[in-house]
A and B are shown apart, each in its own frame.
Chain A
Amino acid sequence: MSSSLHPIEQKILAALAPVGSMSFEALVAGTSLNEDQVRRALQWLSSKALVSITETVQSRLEVVRRPPELELFRKVTESSRLLTVEDLKEEFASAEEFSAAFGRARSAGWIKVEGEAMPAVWVVDPKGPENLNSLLESVSAGKGEGDLTAEQAALMQDLLKRGVLRRVESRSTSVAITEEGRASAGVSGTADLIERLTPEVLASGGWKGKTLRPIDVEAKAPRFYPGRRHPVRDFIREVRETYISMGFTELQGDSVQPAFWNFDALFIPQDHPGRDMQDTFYLEGLSDRRLKRSAVVANVAAVHESGWKTGSRGWRYVWDIEEARRLVLRTHNTVLSVRSLSEEGERERRVFAVSKVYRNESLDYKHLAEFYQMDGIMVGKGLNVRHLMGFLVEFYKRLGMSEVKLWPTYFPYTEPSLEVVGYSKAIKGWIELSGSGVFRPEVTWPLGVRVPVLAWGPGIERLMLMRYGLDDMRALYGADLEWLRSRVELASSQD
Chain B
Amino acid sequence: MPVVRIDLKRFSKMVGADRRTILERLPYVGLDIESVDKDSVRVEYSPNRPDFGTDYGIARSLRGLLGKATGLRNFPTSPSGATVSVDRRLSAVRPYIACAMVGGLDLDEEDIRQIISLQEDLHNGLGRKRRVVAIGLHDADAVDPPFSYRGVGSSFKFMRLGGEGPQTVGSILSDTAEGRAYGGILARRALYPVIVDSKGVVLSLPPVINGNATRVTKKTKRMFIDVTGTDGKACDDVLAVIATTLAEAGGKLGTVTIRYPGKPKVTPDLSPLELPLDEGLVRSVLGLELTKAEMVRYLARSGLGVRGRKVLGPRYRVDLLHPVDIAEEVALGYGIDRIGPIYPPSKEPGRLDRFEEYLDSASTVMAGSGMIELMTFELTDEGTLYSKFQRPAAARIAVQNPKSSEHSLLRDALIPSMMSSLSGNVKSDYPQRVFEIGRVYRREGDGVSESWHLGCLVAHSQSSFTEAKMHLESTCRIISGKEAEAAEARHWMFAPGRCASVTFGGNGIGFVGELGPEAIDAFGLGVPVSGFEIDLSSLFELLK
Contact = CB atoms under 8 A, between A and B. Distances in A.
Interface string A185-227: 0000000000000000000000000000000000000010111
Contacts of A416: 285-286, 327-328, 331
Contact of A307 (B322, B367, B441): B322
B322 A385 contact: no
A274 to B, nearest CB: 10
Contact of A384 (B233, B286, B377, B439): B286
Interface stretch (A4-12, A140-148, A230-238): A230-238
Interface residues of A, number: 98
A316 B342 contact: no
Contacts of B424: 478-480
B125 interface: yes
A40 to B, nearest CB: 29
A30 B422 CA distance: 41
Contacts of B356: 240, 250, 252
Interface in A323-366: 327, 329, 349-350, 356, 358, 360-363
B379 to A, nearest CB: 6
Interface in B383-439: 397-404, 407, 410, 421, 424-425, 428-429, 432-434, 439
B322 A232 contact: no
A91 to B, nearest CB: 49
Interface stretch (B156-164, B215-223, B446-454): B446-454
Contacts of B28: 407-408
A382 B283 CA distance: 10
Interface string A443-459: 00000000010000000
Contact of B400 (A223, A240, A277): A277
A172 interface: no
A107 interface: no
A284 B399 contact: yes
Given A233-B360, A358-B379, A386-B339, A247 B328 contact: no
* Prevailing SS type, chain A contact patch: mixed
Nearest to B328: A416
A454 B378 CA distance: 30
A255 interface: yes
Interface stretch (A98-106, A120-128, A155-163, A389-397): A389-397
B373 A484 contact: yes
B332 A408 contact: yes
A409 B353 CA distance: 32
A412 interface: yes
Contacts of B339: 385-386, 389
A481 B457 CA distance: 13
A398 B49 CA distance: 35
A479 B421 contact: yes
Interface string B331-371: 11000110111111111111111011000100110111111
A408 B336 contact: yes
A180 to B, nearest CB: 46
Contacts of B29: 408
Nearest to A236: B360
A255 B439 contact: yes
Interface in A397-453: 405-410, 412, 415-419, 421, 432, 438, 440-442, 452
Interface centre among A230, A392, A407, A416 (most CB of B within 10 A): A416
B319 A227 contact: no
B155 interface: no
Interface of A: 223, 225-230, 232-233, 237, 240, 243-252, 254-256, 271, 273, 277-278, 281-284, 286-290, 307, 310-314, 316-317, 327, 329, 349-350, 356, 358, 360-363, 369-370, 378, 382-387, 389-394, 405-410, 412, 415-419, 421, 432, 438, 440-442, 452, 476-482, 484-485
Interface of B: 27-30, 32, 46-49, 124-125, 128, 132, 231, 233, 276, 284-288, 319, 321-325, 327-328, 331-332, 336-337, 339-353, 355-356, 360, 363-364, 366-379, 397-404, 407, 410, 421, 424-425, 428-429, 432-434, 439, 441, 443, 446-448, 450
7 contacts: A227-B373, A250-B353, A255-B378, A282-B400, A310-B322, A384-B287, A415-B327
